[in-house]
Amino acid sequence: MEKIINMSRYFLLIFFLFTVSMSFPQSFLNGDFEINCATDCIWNMENSLFSSCMANTLAFGTGNSVDIQKIGCGYSNPQHGKYFISLSFIIFNFYRFEAVSMKLSSPLIKGRKYSISYYEQSDTTFNDGIDSLAIGISSTPDSFGAIIYKSLPPINHWIKRTFSFIAPYNADYITVKMCLFHEGWNFIDNFNIDTCLININLGNDTTLCKDQALSLDASFPDASYIWQDGSTNSTFNVIHPGIFWVDISKNSCHKRDSIIVNYTPLPDVNLGKDTTLCKGQTLILNAMVSHASYKWQDGSTDTIYKVTQEGIYWVDVSLNNCSCIDSIKVKVINCLDDCKIYIPNAFTPNDDGINDRFLVVTSCFVTEYRMIIFNRWGENIFESTDSTIGWDGKFKDETAQDGTYYYYLTAKKTLNSINLSGLIHLIR
């Protein structure tokens, strides 16, 4: 049987789903509108008949024409349980509206904060786009009471809305009706009321890069915390993979949230140690990592990079949303055979910052460098294989005496070897 509707008016179809949570002090005794009488689809039920068929739910609107629907009635499917109901606001015949009250398992307490979530839906074929639903609280089942929420105009598919309110007085019932003078036909089903209003969200499961940290923040005013490792701070710093959770407590209210964190290794890139080239030489830098992407210091994106000039070169290698940067410093020198070597014949290691070390200076790049300093008795008092490190005038951490010493230098340059020896004077 179809509901008879005056064709000269528009109809707004609004569907509401209210889910019950049994874990909180308040719940709806029949928020999902399950019936205690055998029925199929029943249209235009008088208030008294509806109320006798629907436990803990009372129809009290002036429309006196509530419907009970289920799957197969042709308009929508219940979102919880087997049944849902529909209400109307009718301009024809002196603005009649339908309304229901739903009894709570325990009274709302004046001044206490609560949260209600519900679903709604509209059929845009009959929707004028401006109607909305009014939700109220009442201390009696046959009056709307005080309004606590007015919804936005609904849309033509199920949508969940959530709102919070502070009870203006003690009340046993949540009420629902249309709140504007526009014709409409409204479907409702199932409330969820929550008195545990701790807000916690550690975020979605995620994957981090190696050595990356994630700070989890569960802060809530005047609450206490227990994390998976027993720590009790409001925040937790993640530095390794795993499942991380926190229990938050405030008074008799408890909430838990968790997050899974995985780690991805960084791409392995190594451009090598800083190095020196002769003029005209080319150094090939290879940053190859399978399936990775590359960005060099000049913006190029190839796997390899050819170096012919002096400078600092770097590459950023990215793989699976993780990146690693490596760099190398390249020096270019003159390696021609006219290389000149400068060896001082005296130095003054008196820590005045001038000529404090005996140091060999070359105009070219040399390899296999070795310099040995002897005293006049032939004792080896200093030795270096690095051309940038010279003698500071000390022997066994003691100041060497003024006088004449002997050096012996060997090295290789591009075309031949270097073998030099001579005298140096230590003067203080």
Residue with tokens 């390249």: 330
Q: Does a structural domain hold residue 199?
A: no
Q: Using CA atoms in the order 333, 338, 343, 345, what is the torsion angle rounded to 10 degrees?
A: -150
> Which CATH number covers residue 321?
2.60.40.10
- Do both 94 and 22 map to the same domain? yes
The domain of 215 spans: 206-264
Residue where a domain terminates, one of 194, 223, 241: 194
- Do both 36 and 184 map to the same domain? yes
Q: Does a structural domain hold residue 327?
A: yes
Written as tens digits, the pLDDT of the chain (428 aa) is 333 333 333 333 333 333 333 334 578 999 888 998 877 888 888 999 999 999 999 999 888 888 888 888 888 888 888 998 888 776 655 567 889 999 999 999 998 889 998 888 876 555 555 567 899 999 999 999 999 999 877 677 788 888 999 999 999 999 998 776 566 777 888 888 988 778 889 999 999 999 999 999 999 988 999 999 999 999 999 999 999 999 999 877 888 999 999 999 999 999 999 988 888 888 999 999 999 999 999 999 999 999 999 999 999 999 999 999 999 999 987 766 567 788 999 999 998 989 999 999 887 778 889 999 999 888 999 999 998 899 999 999 899 999 999 999 998 876 677 888 889 999 98
Q: What tokens does 400 get?
A: 């060497």
- Do both 219 and 153 map to the same domain? no
Specify whether the CB–CB gap between 142 and 101 falls below 8 A.
yes
How many domains is the chain partitioned into structurally? 4
- Do both 104 and 213 map to the same domain? no
Question: CA nearest 207: which of 164, 257, 266, 248?
Answer: 266
> Which CATH number covers residue 345?
2.60.40
Confidence at residue 141, expressed as pLDDT on a 0 to 100 scale:
96
Specify whether the CB–CB gap between 101 and 30 falls below 8 A.
no
Distance of alpha carbon 4 from alpha carbon 44, whole angstroms: 8
Specify whether the CB–CB gap between 47 and 158 falls below 8 A.
no
Amino acid symbol at 412: K
- Do both 242 and 226 map to the same domain? yes
- Do both 101 and 41 map to the same domain? yes
- Do both 161 and 88 map to the same domain? yes
Distance of alpha carbon 341 from alpha carbon 87, whole angstroms: 102
Q: Does a structural domain hold residue 6?
A: no
Distance of alpha carbon 412 from alpha carbon 332, whole angstroms: 17
- Do both 27 and 152 map to the same domain? yes
Amino acid symbol at 10: Y
Confidence at residue 155, expressed as pLDDT on a 0 to 100 scale:
72
Residue where a domain terminates, one of 296, 314, 333: 333
- Do both 181 and 56 map to the same domain? yes
Confidence at residue 24, expressed as pLDDT on a 0 to 100 scale:
43
Residue where a domain terminates, one of 333, 353, 380: 333
Q: Does a structural domain hold residue 329?
A: yes
- Do both 325 and 358 map to the same domain? no
Distance of alpha carbon 89 from alpha carbon 99, whole angstroms: 9
Sheet strands (E) in 192-298: 192-194, 206-209, 214-217, 224-227, 235-238, 242-250, 253-264, 275-278, 283-286, 293-296
- Do both 128 and 158 map to the same domain? yes
Partners of 243 in beta bridges: 260
- Do both 178 and 297 map to the same domain? no
> Which CATH number covers residue 181?
2.60.120.260
